[in-house]
Amino acid sequence: MGPTVVITGGNRGIGLATAEEFARRDHRVVVVARNPAAAGEAARLGADLVAGDLSTLKGVRAVAEALAGTCPRLDVLVHNAGIWPSARRLTEDGFEESFAVNHLAPFLLNHLLEDRLSRVVQVTAGLYGTGQVDLARTPAGADFSPLRTYANTKLCNLALMPLWAERWRSRGITIDAVHPGVIRTGLGDRSGLAGVLLRAAKRLWKAPADGAAPVVRLALDRAGTGRYFDVDRELPLASVAADPARAGELWAQAAELTGVA
């Protein structure tokens, strides 16, 4: 069996298509998914399943423990799990759900697994540049918006990527981020008229396999670290994500909220 690839949210959409491609390349694939029903898809691929809830700190720690038990090494960790909520929902820890899944979960997993990491790929969204993070309000969704909250959480997460790159540079661990394009998945699905219009628009969007291609390419590319790609094109981070002082504040807050040293 080849290198081990762990994919969060690997049971559907871009995550599943990424898992399928790595399985085709004879990598060992480990799928992290909230729903145990994903075991069927994992088995079809010959992949292992780690079931866990990345919306809670307890759930993230349980996933990390399970991965540490089944993966002596993680050649590639793909942070793909993400949600785009239509309404404000709080987790048992008191965080807005997408802030917990899109931002705190990858941050905590990186900390808990860094002694066995080699390569990390963060799946992000080009909308991050429209984010407007309020350190006091965003964590609990006091500034919730069905349109902007997703961008806010992706901005929080992406702003820390250069700090991870610097932290890991001497250890040989690399990290890059990629916006895979506008892809036809269940992300952001809505009910009512808005949902009908969105589903109609998605018919024109690219298939999950198209979104998986830049993720796989970047996972296999160790030529650099701390880079951001829009599909296959490397771009500098937008100024809103490239402020070191702001990134430091976001890091300190995430460390405090997740309880890491």
> The domain containing residue 96 runs over which residues?
4-258
Question: How many domains does one find in the chain?
Answer: 1
- The DSSP element (H or E) to which 19 belongs, if any, is helix 13-24
Residue 84 and residue 102 in contact, taking contact as beta carbons nearer than 8 Å: no
Comparing C-alpha atoms, which of 95, 19, 90, 104 is closest to residue 61? 104
pLDDT digits (tens, 9 = 90+) for 92-123: 999 999 999 999 999 999 999 999 999 999 99
The CATH number assigned to the domain holding 159 equals 3.40.50.720
40: left (phi over 0), alpha (psi -120 to 50) or beta: alpha
DSSP 180-246: --SB-SSTT--SHHHHHHHHHHHTTSBPHHHHHHHHHHHHT--S-SSEEEETTEEEPPPGGG--HHH
Q: State how far the Cα of 149 lies from the Cα of 160, in Å rounded to an integer.
A: 17
Average pLDDT per run of 10 along the chain, which is 261 residues long? Answer: 91 90 95 83 87 97 96 95 93 98 98 97 94 97 94 97 98 96 56 48 63 94 96 96 97 98 73
State the catalytic residues.
Answer: 150
